Amino acid sequence: MQESIIQQGVDLLIFGMGTVFVFLTVLVIATLGMSSFIRRFFPDAVAPVTEPAPTTPSNSVDPRHLAIIKAAIEKHRNKQ
Amino acid sequence: MQESIIQQGVDLLIFGMGTVFVFLTVLVIATLGMSSFIRRFFPDAVAPVTEPAPTTPSNSVDPRHLAIIKAAIEKHRNKQ
Amino acid sequence: MQESIIQQGVDLLIFGMGTVFVFLTVLVIATLGMSSFIRRFFPDAVAPVTEPAPTTPSNSVDPRHLAIIKAAIEKHRNKQ
Amino acid sequence: MDNLLGLWQESGLYLMTPGQMVMIAVGLLLLFLAINKNFEPLLLVPIGFGGILANIPGAELASSAVDAALHGAHPDVLAAFAHTLGLEIGSSLEAVKDAYNHASVSVQSQLSLQAADFGYSNGMLYNFYSVAIASGIAPLVIFMGVGAMTDFGPLLANPKTLFLGAAAQFGIFATIMGAVGMSYLGWMDFSIADAAAIGIIGGADGPTAIYVSSLLAPELLGAIAVAAYSYMALVPLIQPPIMRALTTEEERKISMTQLRVVSKREKIAFPIVVLILVAMLLPSAAPLLGMFCFGNLMKECGVVDRLSDTAQNALINITTIFLGLSVGSKLAADKFLDPKTLGILALGIVAFGIGTAMGVLMAKLMNKFSEHKLNPLIGSAGVSAVPMAARVSNRVGLEANPQNFLLMHAMGPNVAGVIGSAVAAGVMISMVQSMGG
Amino acid sequence: MDNLLGLWQESGLYLMTPGQMVMIAVGLLLLFLAINKNFEPLLLVPIGFGGILANIPGAELASSAVDAALHGAHPDVLAAFAHTLGLEIGSSLEAVKDAYNHASVSVQSQLSLQAADFGYSNGMLYNFYSVAIASGIAPLVIFMGVGAMTDFGPLLANPKTLFLGAAAQFGIFATIMGAVGMSYLGWMDFSIADAAAIGIIGGADGPTAIYVSSLLAPELLGAIAVAAYSYMALVPLIQPPIMRALTTEEERKISMTQLRVVSKREKIAFPIVVLILVAMLLPSAAPLLGMFCFGNLMKECGVVDRLSDTAQNALINITTIFLGLSVGSKLAADKFLDPKTLGILALGIVAFGIGTAMGVLMAKLMNKFSEHKLNPLIGSAGVSAVPMAARVSNRVGLEANPQNFLLMHAMGPNVAGVIGSAVAAGVMISMVQSMGG
Amino acid sequence: MDNLLGLWQESGLYLMTPGQMVMIAVGLLLLFLAINKNFEPLLLVPIGFGGILANIPGAELASSAVDAALHGAHPDVLAAFAHTLGLEIGSSLEAVKDAYNHASVSVQSQLSLQAADFGYSNGMLYNFYSVAIASGIAPLVIFMGVGAMTDFGPLLANPKTLFLGAAAQFGIFATIMGAVGMSYLGWMDFSIADAAAIGIIGGADGPTAIYVSSLLAPELLGAIAVAAYSYMALVPLIQPPIMRALTTEEERKISMTQLRVVSKREKIAFPIVVLILVAMLLPSAAPLLGMFCFGNLMKECGVVDRLSDTAQNALINITTIFLGLSVGSKLAADKFLDPKTLGILALGIVAFGIGTAMGVLMAKLMNKFSEHKLNPLIGSAGVSAVPMAARVSNRVGLEANPQNFLLMHAMGPNVAGVIGSAVAAGVMISMVQSMGG
Ligand code: NA
Ligand code: NA
Ligand code: NA
């Protein structure tokens, strides 16, 4: 039993880590294939621009837009 | 059994279509009655305007407003 | 039984009202203690402003902002 | 022809009972009050509509599968039910119904599966009720949302207004005495649990009333909820005469000093303080006050704004829709059209009146012992009915002194009343359950 | 090594059946149509994706615990199931499956607990299906949201367009005849309940179709939903040839008078009128039309805008996500790859065609008796498929007369079609259930 | 007097155990860290608050009806339970508890009904846990929302960074070895299922950790979730020393070429490619990766923006509130205050450290074979902890070279780490369940 839990841990380590590497390796290959296929046969008419900022998952409102809107409101209020 | 399913289908056709027509006919009458009652006894003070555009169920933001807001943001950004 | 329901009602009245007063009295004391502790040891760097308007639970959009935004849209529309 | 006859015999006109017709009229009345008179429309529109749906004859939207099977009363079904209930085969429908209502939960759940075997299923509104109210979840989620919309600033600036919120809860307990008195006199047949559930109308707080009555007196829930929301809407009519009668012109003119500035940190600490006191003193109030404080903490802590926004909008709105329809399911004619409903309506308005009076009198009492005078008009806001009662205090105050804005001062007792009735709810649930009520 | 072998034997490549491969391709096709061709993407993206998930071999996402246990087919499990089902120990897997499918609800729920005892659990999509569709709740909530997005103004301005919405429902019933005919000829094995569920495709209304088939023919739900949404997306291709064939150039040029102004009060009263008629005449349509009218009342009454907004946005979106994935669970290969699916696809397009034709012909018939001529092109909008069919009417109208804007006129029959098919759904559910279908 | 005594004996002060007091302090600490130190507040505010609620003495909010009945320990109840469990009447409370914990699901569900017969009901948090976590739904819905917020652009521009996400998962498996080692040495009593659940902390991904531990080690879920979120918040402290120790100044200065433009079509195709690989190679990862890819497809496909918005906002927020409170229910003192918790906290931080190190070392290894040099600092982002770890890579990179912006480059391994740990989760669930763990 004590032996066996170590054995089970080693099994998890080997097969688990192996699966992760195999799966992600296949995914690298598939992704490269998919990308080159699409870039070759279905290029976009207009080149899209990569987003300049990173995704910030916990923040759903674009802070720049927020700032602009706030500024607009502020300005309007000052005029009154 | 084979006879019977045809019979059941015919029953559905006759009573189903009949119910649809009867129900909607009663609804036409009830609606006309309701409308004339309301227009006679509870006319609106100010005539409301019928919406100029059709309902677009799959689009929850008024596209015109969106365009205006976008334009405003754009303008503000250009000023900076 | 008839006696007993009156007795139960009186029990509820006495212990219920008593608990409400005891609990809220303790809460008054705890709140005063908490406030004086915080004001003494963790005063805010900048004094916050109390909200000028009452909470209006059933209205989730600040009506003033709404008015400003509407005005902005109106203005933009007129320019077009 | 059988089909045509069948359709006619399944039509509402053929099946409708006078009771259902009356209840449909009641539903229409609630819609009218909500839409035209602005009576708590967020709740009364769904409740009124749900009440009409619950009374559509033949649709059985508010019935469980077992109710529907009993209503169908097919001999095979009754025989099977009688067997499960340990009755002799051939028992009357009444006997089966009676045994079912007194059966244990495990037997009821067996009957439920049996009804499904016979092809019966729960009605739509019954399912809504089970998920939203019987589980207790909808009132708690709404309370969390209310917490996220509540500003304790005015209360923190003047904590002694909590006493006003405490005093106004006397309306709850006086109403309980009224209900048990009616039972004692033989006018009504209210149990102590019923009486407690009726009393909570005096808390002037919708989710608390629904939560308590779902636990203590589910069959009265429809009448209690309708009474609670209707009287909350009627606060501008109910309170002012009482407030004027109990105060002098001089008292109504008392001008209160401006509230001090309350810091963000105090506002964050307050829900935690309440929570800890609940944990130490009154565990039975933990579900209600726990969720309320959680909502308020989300609002004030400033680091989970997206959760707070959702609790105040999408989540509370979704829950309100289903809560309202579910309450409507309790407006089925056979449950609602009962003399008890009249008793509940009568007791409910008394509850509001007494709560109002006690709040005002408490303020006058506190003025005897305190240097900083309170305007006693803010005492009536202690019943809660947020924010209506606070607005009433302000309005009556302005009549006496056009320069005297009481609104912010009245918000303190107003939110104190929410805490007060949640405390009362906790202690009542705990006491009634230990009375075997 | 055992582990390595185990992993390989659990991998999709080892386990995948040809049927699953085909269904994954079908799922990808649905995604392609939704994303690239804009085929009702709000539903077909979740349905297509759910369909792929349901066909991942070994993951059993669309299976109940009992299905998974039967698929595992361990002798101990089969023996226990056979015992519960009253079969002799050692019964074949087929015998156990068969007995399970015909067992009563209480026995099935016992097996469900037994499967849990053996460590099996329901798949993710199976759970979604149970909660969202088997309970009936998701289609009803979506219908409520659609109600909150529907403007009955054009219909109220010209109520007789309701007849167009009635006539177009003939597509439903003609399709039922087609389905029973196929059964009669021995081509397919549709029961009367199956036939009714297939017919409802002709209602051109997604939630109605899903609601009806979840009650009458759950095993056909996948095919019926896919057919309904696909053909709704194809309305711009299906309808115009039929419309042109049945009308003359002159008729298509008919110009209609501008619609009168409809007051707020009429719009508020309309859903209540519909509800009362349902209560009096057709209780079986109460769930669908009740929720639809409730949504519309929330929109129009103007006092519960926050509820109406939520019903139109957060709530309908959340429900759509789970409804779509749940429908996808019914695209599992062993259920979907059946000759019946071909029959359903064939009958569905006929249903759309007949509904379109009858709407147009009804408009022509009404013109014979009425002074105010209708442009018969608006008749085709009576099938519903909101708002696509109304746009098609407008577009075909503009071809004939570039000054003639039919869009608002076509919205009347368009929303009438929604009511019409909900009425048809109610009467069919009621009749089929009383046929013992 | 009985009532007064009853109230006191039901009060928290009378009932509170030292353990509950400690756990309330832990809950307050979590709130402090979340609110003042910004430790993953979206999760730790609900978890901390839920933890306090779960430890309110007498409220039994985190207990099932059966737990509450066992806690009450009334002789009649124990006798009835003993009978159902097949024990002799008069068995000790311990014996009944033990038999209950080892009973089959069907027997447990019988006891549950029996407890209801005696008037016990599930606590609020227990219900939240059952619906949100035990069903598996809440972590999956959050994963869908995360998918809808993830931009795979940087990963698609440089797919070989997937290897960094793979290498960092070594933290998971090394931790498993640590846990089984502790068991081997007799320090702790972790089963292989416990070890796997603890290992997943190294995946640095909240929903994955909660999903895995709800399946493999529900009683450890509280500690695992607290460890996972706390260490994710501590990434800016944990990672930099390791990153600096394993890299030279030169390596940290490596400047990477700008990422290529990735087309919309590639972004749409990527989640579908992942899904198909999952279907072919690793069905056990289908729930997690399926929902993740579904969320991402909704975001990228551009035709279901309203669903994507809801998945990213209302739906994920609602789910987060209930997920957090549910996790809090697992902070009840009798479960959490166990030496195992210390073991979990110790192992968790090791897991983060090893994952970070392996990511960095993998980047250095890849540089040996590749022309386009990677800055090894982006390797540490492979543990996921999105987007914190990527920001740490950027910050440490700027220290070495103020012109070198690594943020976008680090987002590739960062999201690769999410996929990597979902794959690891799938393979572990499948292997452990087949080990009979
Ligand atoms: Na109150
Ligand atoms: Na239709
Ligand atoms: Na990870």
Q: Quick check: D305 and F318 in contact, CB under 8 A?
A: no
Q: What is the mean pLDDT of residues E288-317?
A: 96
Q: What is the mean pLDDT of residues F257-274?
A: 93
Q: Which of D275, D291, D309 to mutate to test the interface with F (most CBs of F within 10 A)?
A: D275
Q: Quick check: D429 and D284 in contact, CB under 8 A?
A: yes
Q: What pLDDT does A77 receive?
A: 52
Each residue's pLDDT tens digit, D388-397: 999 999 999 9
- For chain B, list residues with pLDDT below 50: 1-2, 46-66, 79-80
Q: What pLDDT does E2 receive?
A: 62
Q: What percent of chain F has pLDDT over 90?
A: 79
D262 to chain C, any CB pair closer than 8 A? The answer is yes
Per-residue tokens: D9 = 């015999």
Write down the mean pLDDT value for chain F: 92
Q: Which of F3, F9, F11, F28 to mutate to test the interface with C (most CBs of C within 10 A)?
A: F3
Q: What pLDDT does D4 receive?
A: 66
Residues in chain C: 80
User: How far is residue D418's CA from residue D412's CA, in Å, rounded to a whole number?
Assistant: 10
* Angle (CA) D329 D333 D335, round 5°: 75
User: How far is residue E309's CA from residue B58's CA, in Å, rounded to a whole number?
Assistant: 13
Q: How far is CA A28 from the centre of its chain?
A: 15
Q: What is the mean pLDDT of residues F272-290?
A: 94
User: How far is residue F311's CA from residue A57's CA, in Å, rounded to a whole number?
Assistant: 12
Cβ–Cβ gap A65/B76 under 8 Å: no
CB atoms within 10 A of CB D1: 5
Q: Quick check: A54 and F390 in contact, CB under 8 A?
A: yes
ipTM: 0.89
CB atoms within 10 A of CB D361: 18
What distance in angstroms lies between residue F3's CA and the mean position of ligand 1's atoms? 23
Name residues whose C-beta falls within 8 Å of residue D73's C-beta, 6 or more positions apart in sequence. D93
What distance in angstroms lies between residue D48's CA and the mean position of ligand 1's atoms? 24
Q: How many Å lie between the alpha carbon of E230 and the closest alpha carbon of chain A?
A: 26
How far, in Å, are C19, D288, D355, D363, E39 from residue D381 at the CA level?
20, 21, 9, 11, 56
Closest ligand (CA of F292): 3
Q: Quick check: E123 and E62 in contact, CB under 8 A?
A: yes
E172 to chain B, any CB pair closer than 8 A? The answer is yes
Q: What is the mean pLDDT of residues E328-353?
A: 92
Q: What percent of chain F has pLDDT over 70?
A: 98
User: How far is residue A14's CA from residue A18's CA, in Å, rounded to a whole number?
Assistant: 6
Task: Give the residue among F202, F226, F222 at the shortest CA–CA distance from F424.
Answer: F202
Nearest to F124 among D136, D276, D297 (CB): D136
Bigger pLDDT: F61 or A60? Answer: F61
Chain B residues in contact with E263 by the CB 8 A cut-off are 38-39, 43-44, 47-48
Chain A positions contacting chain B at CB under 8 Å are: 65, 68-69, 71-72
Name residues whose C-beta falls within 8 Å of residue A63's C-beta, 6 or more positions apart in sequence. none
How far, in Å, are D133, F70, F387, F410 from residue F326 at the CA level?
19, 22, 25, 33
Q: How many Å lie between the alpha carbon of F250 and the closest alpha carbon of chain E?
A: 42
Q: What is the mean pLDDT of residues E158-185?
A: 94
Closest ligand (CA of F201): 3
Q: Quick check: E205 and E213 in contact, CB under 8 A?
A: no
* Angle (CA) F61 D309 F42, round 5°: 60
Phi-psi region at E432: left, alpha or beta (left = phi > 0; alpha = psi -120 to 50): alpha
Beta strand residue intervals within D18-61, DSSP E: none
Q: What pLDDT does E372 receive?
A: 83
Q: How far is CA E82 from the centre of its chain?
A: 36
Q: How far is CA D137 from the centre of its chain?
A: 14
Give all chains having 3 or more CB-to-CB distances under 8 Å with chain E. Answer: A, B, D, F
Name residues whose C-beta falls within 8 Å of residue F260's C-beta, 6 or more positions apart in sequence. F157
Cβ–Cβ gap B73/A71 under 8 Å: no
Q: What pLDDT does E412 receive?
A: 94
B80: part of which helix (H) or strand (E)?
Answer: none
Per-residue tokens: E314 = 């957060």
Q: What pLDDT does C62 receive?
A: 46
Q: What is the mean pLDDT of residues F388-393?
A: 93
Q: What pLDDT does B57 receive?
A: 39
pLDDT band at E343 (very low <50, low <70, confident <90, very high): very high
Phi-psi region at F60: left, alpha or beta (left = phi > 0; alpha = psi -120 to 50): left
Q: What pLDDT does E62 receive?
A: 94
Name residues whose C-beta falls within 8 Å of residue B41's C-beta, 6 or more positions apart in sequence. none
| CA dihedral of residues E337, E338, E343, E346 (deg, nearest 10) | 10
E5 to chain A, any CB pair closer than 8 A? The answer is no
What distance in angstroms lies between residue D221's CA and the mean position of ligand 2's atoms? 38
Q: Which residues, chain by chain, have CB under 5 Å from ion ligand 1?
A: D 203-205, 384, 417, 421
* Angle (CA) F321 F326 F328, round 5°: 100
Per-residue tokens: D233 = 């809407």
Cβ–Cβ gap F4/C15 under 8 Å: yes
Is 80 exceeded by the pLDDT of residue F332? yes
- Of A55-64, A70-79, E295-304, E348-357, the poorest mean pLDDT is in A55-64
Which residue is associated with the tokens 């085969």? D89
**Burial group, residue B33, by CB count within 10 angstroms (0-12, 13-18, 19+):** exposed
CB–CB contacts below 8 A, B to C: 8
Chain D residues in contact with B19 by the CB 8 A cut-off are 7
Radius of gyration of chain D (CA): 24
CB atoms within 10 A of CB F189: 12
Cβ–Cβ gap C16/D172 under 8 Å: yes
Q: Quick check: E297 and E152 in contact, CB under 8 A?
A: no
Q: Which of F192, F296, F310 to mutate to test the interface with E (most CBs of E within 10 A)?
A: F310
Closest ligand (CA of D228): 1
Per-residue tokens: B55 = 């309902």
Buried residues in D369-386 as b, exposed as e (16+ CB within 10 A): eeeeebbbbbbbbbbbbb
Which residue is associated with the tokens 């399709």? E175
User: How far is residue E30's CA from residue E21's CA, in Å, rounded to a whole number?
Assistant: 14
What distance in angstroms lies between residue E421's CA and the mean position of ligand 2's atoms? 4
What distance in angstroms lies between residue D263's CA and the mean position of ligand 2's atoms? 58
Q: What pLDDT does C48 receive?
A: 44
| Complete DSSP assignment for E79-123 | HHHHHHHTPPTT--HHHHHHHHHTS-HHHHHHHHHHHHHTT----
CB atoms within 10 A of CB E89: 10
Provide the greatest CA pair distance for chain D.
85
What distance in angstroms lies between residue E304's CA and the mean position of ligand 1's atoms? 24
Q: Mean pLDDT in runs of 10 for chain D (437 residues)?
A: 66 84 95 94 96 93 93 89 88 90 90 92 94 94 96 94 94 94 90 94 94 94 93 94 94 88 94 95 93 97 96 96 95 90 93 95 92 91 92 93 90 94 94 78
Radius of gyration of chain E (CA): 24
Q: Quick check: D11 and D42 in contact, CB under 8 A?
A: no
What distance in angstroms lies between residue D415's CA and the mean position of ligand 1's atoms? 8
CB atoms within 10 A of CB C56: 13
Chain B residues in contact with A69 by the CB 8 A cut-off are 73
pLDDT band at A76 (very low <50, low <70, confident <90, very high): low
Per-residue tokens: B12 = 């559905």
Q: Mean pLDDT in runs of 10 for chain C (80 residues)?
A: 78 93 95 93 60 40 49 52
Q: What percent of chain C has pLDDT over 90?
A: 40
Q: What pLDDT does F247 receive?
A: 94
Q: Which residue of B has its CA nearest to A75?
A: B76
Chain E residues in contact with D313 by the CB 8 A cut-off are 306, 310, 314
Nearest to C20 among D184, D411, D424 (CB): D424
Q: What pLDDT does C56 receive?
A: 38
Each residue's pLDDT tens digit, F56-65: 998 899 999 9
What is the CB-side half-sphere exposure of residue E236 using CA atoms within 13 A? 11
Each residue's pLDDT tens digit, F15-25: 889 999 999 99
Q: How far is CA F49 from the centre of its chain?
A: 17
Q: Which residue of B has its CA nearest to E312?
A: B60
Output DSSP code: residue E208: H
Chain C residues in contact with D157 by the CB 8 A cut-off are 50
Cβ–Cβ gap E280/D38 under 8 Å: no
